[in-house]
Each structure stands twice: as structure tokens, then as C-alpha cells.
Amino acid sequence: MRTLKTTITNIKSNKQLFFASVGTITIALSILGLFLFVYINLNSVLSFWNDQVQLIVYLEDEVSMHEKKKLEKMVSSHSEVESFDFVSREKAWKNFQAMFSEKSAFLKGMGFNPLPASFNLKIKPTPNRLEKIRTLAEQMKQLPGVESVEYGEEWISRFEGFIILMRVFLLALGALLSLGAVLIISNTVKLSISSRKDEIELMLLSGGTPGFIQLPFFLEGILHGLLGAVVSLALMKSIHLYVVNQFQGAIETFGRSMDFQFIPFPLIMTIVMASILVGWLGSFFSLHQFLGVYKKL
């Protein structure tokens, strides 16, 4: 209670500096958050597409019953295949017509079915799934009765590469900004400490425990981190809401069943905890430096 009061007095007597420092941390965190926001949404796009990725094996129109059976057997027994559909030429045609129902008059008028039959394979989700799809595709291409294979290869691998790059970038940026925040907080707390030098000295002389003496300053540092995190998260949330309002419509035509995601809760907690840790570290360095003088006496 008294500790809290001391912390607040400390902050009040250095108000401008406190707000400047919290503001800087807020901005730093917001920059990080913005990238995180983009990353999370790109990632969710990726996993959405990843889910959609199928290896489609088109059959030759004149495939024999025997070849088809053989292919089906191979596909159903393959260890990497999670499930598969057989889409006959007729069914493919129906699907196609359903998808473009407004043009169905024209389609009906075509009078023949240009679509091949296919096996649509869903591959088990493993970390190197793309690799697996690739090898399986190569295998299947060689088999008799197979006309061609298809999957969104280039797209996905490029996209995945980008996501990995982004992850590295985010980690580096986070580390850099955290370091900056530690320095800023440490500096602010240092000023707070030196403006109370006489009081701290008296506390040391009158038998204040190190914990009692240091707690207000630890709280001050932690408050920096916590406030910075909360304000920047609130900022992120309002940006998120704005974006959702403005662009949700556009997104819906782009990829169904997808929305703009906010930073997920566990990650929010991680950010808050990390900010608290950063604040604590800032205080720790200043206190360590300051009290070091008295430890040597």
C-alpha cells in the first residue's frame, strides 16, 4: 500500500518523463503489433489454403475400368492420404454447372462434357506435407490412366517461404524493440531513483530491507511495460475493428469462411507478460547499478 503510494509519487514527480517513456514503449509495441497482426492474418490465410490443398489426379477419358481400380487401390492404401473422393465426369460436370448457374443456359447448350474424371486426394497434415504432395504427384503422373496432376505448388511454397521470413523478421524486430524498451525504462527509473537518493540512503541506514526499498521502483518499471502493452493492444484492437468494418465485405468474396483475426488471446498474454518482464528488467538494471555503490561500502 505504502509502496504503491511511493510508486505513484515517483511517477508524479517525473510525470512528463513517465508519459514520454510509456508513449515510446506504446509506439514500439504498436509497430510490432502491426506486423504481428499482418503475420497472423497471412498465416491464417496460409493454413486455410493449406487445408484446401488437394492433389487432383485427372484421369484420361478413355481410362479402363482395370486401370481405374488399380489407381483407386493405390490411393486408398497410401499412407499419406487422409481421404479421397472420386469425381466422375458426370459429377464434375454437374458441379461445374452448379457453380456457374447463371450461365447454365449456355452450358446446357454445349451438349457435351469437356471435363475429365478425377481423384481428389486430401493429404495428411504433416510439417513436410508439401514435399509429400510433390513426390506423390510425381509418382501418380507416371501411372497409366493418369492424364495429369494438379496442385497449387508454386503458390504455396512461395507463400510459405514468405511466412517463414516474416517470422524471423518479427522475432528480430521484437528482440530489438524489447532491448530498446529496457533501455528507455531503465533510464526513466534511474532518474526516479536519483531524485530519491536521499530517501533511499536513509532507508538503507534505518534498516529498510532491500526488497522494501526496491519494490516501488520495480513497480514503476513494471507499470511502464504494462501500460505500454495495454495501450498499444487497445490501439491494435481499434485498428482491427476498423479494418473489419471497412474490408470484411471484400474479404468474403476472396476466401469464404475466413475473417480478419485479432492477435489470439495466448499471444496477447505473452505480449503483456513480456512487457512486464521488460519493465522489470529496466528497473533491475537501474537498481543494480545504483545499489552497487552501497554494496561496495
Partner 1 sequence: MIQLYNVYKTYNNTPALVDISFIIKKGAFVFVTGPSGAGKSTLLKLLYRWENYDRGQVLVNGTNVGKIKFNRLWKLRRKIGVVFQDYKLLQRKTILENVAFVLEIVGADKKTIRFKAWEALKNVGLSHKKDAYPMELSGGEQQRVAIARALVNNPKILLADEPTGNLDPELASEILHLFEQANNEGTTVVFATHSQIILQEGNHAVITLKQGKIVDTRVVV
Handedness of CA 155, 156, 159, 165 (dihedral sign): negative
Task: Indicate whether 288 belongs to the interface with partner 1 (CB under 8 A).
Answer: no
The binding track of 75-94 with respect to partner 1, each residue x by CB under 8 A or -, is --------------------
How far apart CA 151 and CA 141 sit, in angstroms, is 12
Q: What is the DSSP letter of 101?
A: G
Handedness of CA 220, 226, 232, 234 (dihedral sign): negative
Q: State in angstroms the smallest separation of the CB of 218 from partner 1.
A: 16
For partner 1, which residue of 114, 144, 210, 264 counts as binding (CB under 8 A)? 210
- Closer residue to partner 1 (CB): 204 or 272: 204
Task: Indicate whether 207 belongs to the interface with partner 1 (CB under 8 A).
Answer: yes
Q: Give CB contacts under 8 A, 24+ apart, made by 173-180.
A: 173/31, 173/32, 173/35, 174/32, 177/28, 177/29, 177/31, 177/32, 178/274, 178/278, 180/28
Task: Indicate whether 291 belongs to the interface with partner 1 (CB under 8 A).
Answer: yes
How far apart CA 121 and CA 81 sit, in angstroms, is 7
For partner 1, which residue of 61, 201, 252, 259 counts as binding (CB under 8 A)? 201
Residues from 212 through 231 that contact partner 1 (CB under 8 A): 212
Contact stretch for partner 1 (CB under 8 A) within 108-116, 194-202, 231-239, 280-288: 194-202
125: left (phi over 0), alpha (psi -120 to 50) or beta: beta
Cα angle 126-127-131, degrees, rounded to a multiple of 5: 90
Contact stretch for partner 1 (CB under 8 A) within 69-77, 96-104, 266-274, 288-296: 288-296
Task: Indicate whether 294 belongs to the interface with partner 1 (CB under 8 A).
Answer: yes
For partner 1, which residue of 62, 102, 154, 198 counts as binding (CB under 8 A)? 198
- Closer residue to partner 1 (CB): 85 or 199: 199
For partner 1, which residue of 205, 250, 253, 257 counts as binding (CB under 8 A)? 205
Residues from 1 through 40 that contact partner 1 (CB under 8 A): 2
How far apart CA 93 and CA 295 sit, in angstroms, is 84
Contact stretch for partner 1 (CB under 8 A) within 135-143, 203-211, 249-257, 273-281: 203-211
Query: Length of the chain, please?
Result: 297
Residues forming the site for partner 1 (CB under 8 A): 2, 198-199, 201-210, 212, 291, 294-295, 297
